[in-house]
Amino acid sequence: MKGTRWAVVFLLILSVVAAGCLDNNFVYVKGKSVPAGEAREWPFKGPANLTVKLTSNLPVEVKVVSADGEVLEDFGTVREVNEVVGLPDGKWKVVVRNPGNETVVIDVTLKT
């Protein structure tokens, strides 16, 4: 009985944490590989203020774009970003693309 209670409590906590992650109001990624020519994307909903923090061992292209491809913020090809972006109403995504010929390792924190 005691083990069952802990399992129920654990599943309840896990479901609350998972629900928060599904809302995509917070992303933390450490040591994520991005192979040459590939990109990683994380979606968000506006309106919101989005904090974008990124560090990379090699330069990467970092943009905030809408679902239809409109560029809201282009940080250029950089190794580091630490900015707050105001997201208008709608669906947006942070795109990190590796334009180089080597695999890049990134650390990313995104939160609204």
Q: State the Cα angle at 68 between 62 and 70, rounded to 5°.
A: 50
What integer pLDDT is reported at residue 6 of this predicted model? 57
pTM of the model: 0.79
In whole angstroms, give the CA distance from residue 71 to residue 83. 16
pLDDT digits (tens, 9 = 90+) for 41-93: 999 999 999 999 999 999 999 999 998 999 999 999 999 999 999 999 999 99
What integer pLDDT is reported at residue 2 of this predicted model? 62
Backbone angles phi, psi at 24, to 5 degrees: 55, 45
Number of residues written out for the chain:
112
Confidence of residue 14 (pLDDT cuts 50, 70, 90): very low
Of the two residues 6 and 61, the one the predictor is more confident about is 61
Residue type, 61: E
Residue with tokens 């209670």: 5
Q: For 14-49, give the secondary structure using H, E and C.
A: HHHHHHHHHCCCEEEEEEEEECCCCEEEEEEEEEEE
> How many other CB atoms are found less than 10 A from the CB of residue 51?
15
CATH number of this structure's domain 26-111:
2.60.120.380
Residue pair 73/12 in contact (Cβ under 8 Å)? The answer is no
